[in-house]
Structure 1
Amino acid sequence: MTKDERRVVSPWNIANVLTVIRLALVPFFVFCLFLPGTGWRLAALGVFAVASLTDHLDGELARRYGLITDFGKIADPIADKALTGAALVCLSILNELPWWVTGVILGRELGITLLRFLLIRRAVIPASYGGKVKTVLQIAAIVLYIVPGVPDVVRWVVMGAAVVVTVVTGADYVVRAIKLRSVARQARGE
């Protein structure tokens, strides 16, 4: 295949199927989390863990095998936000996580998602290393809140780090978007 030829990738590929599975697991996770008892709590943890692993796996498969699609570019961040957002909201409803933490994280995530949609026609800002650290910290913090018996200080330290990195990477994303827009304007001669 030459550089000018574009390979058409079906949206029905393993990476996108994993993304859809992650999205479909969100209601099961929520259901398990709200049921009383350690067994249900551990079931919620298992569902959350499987869904979180699909996040890493779908991206890896898409990049490695050239399975990147427009559907995946849109559905993957939505599935990510649905999973972490559901976890944070549920933990706040259960009075295990302060609402301000949920608000800060979800505010950043929704704001950056909106910014991505606004920029999607011009360019895609690639995920930064900080964004990957943010995701790992958020997942780790949520896991620590789901697991019964974890000392509060451990939960707070990891969640505090997740909040700080979430805010800092959000600000970095906005700065990169502004620079990208400026470069795009210059390229168009505006």
Structure 2
Amino acid sequence: MKSYFKFENWWLNVDGFEGLVHSWWNEFEVEGCHDYKLSVKLNMLKKKLKDWSKSVCGELCNMKDSLLKELADIDLAQNTRTLSEDELLVRAAVLVELEDLAKNEESRWRQKLIINGEEVKDREAIKVNMIEFYRKLYTESEMWKPSFEYVNCPRISQEEQDWLERPFTEEVLNIIKQCDGDKALGLMATP
């Protein structure tokens, strides 16, 4: 199943993000008409952003772990002695970096917890909305099945049913493959 692309707001908080996107956009070389070039460049940018996001997410997690360890070491030292002015500055800088990382992570999660345009924090509301989403997704909204009124509807014979269920010939299979899912052939036409 193809996943959809979603711009993450926290990307805007990463230093150099806009310049990176600008440089990627300018490095893409595409020939063709304007709408084709735009479409191809957007797809290329989407791939770059997804790869970059995975990489940066991993780096941010490692950075967070590293900063938490550094903070724990400084706090441990503070329990045994008075910290120097330099150590206090390092501790303050670590706390600021951790706060920035926390804001990015919060932004990421907040963006993922929006239902019908509203921020949802209540676990029960999230659960109810998920159940309702899948209930609607897998519930038939149209009454396309025949009702019992059509019990005396003409039926095909077993021979006609067998003919309809026969294996495809290679020629028919090739024609169907050439249809590509969004193309249709005219009556008795071959591509």
Larger RCO (CA within 8 A; separation ≥ 6): 1
Q: Could you tell me the TM-score, scaled by structure 1's length?
A: 0.26
The structure having more radius of gyration, on CA atoms, is: 2
Structure (1 or 2) with the greater helix fraction: 1
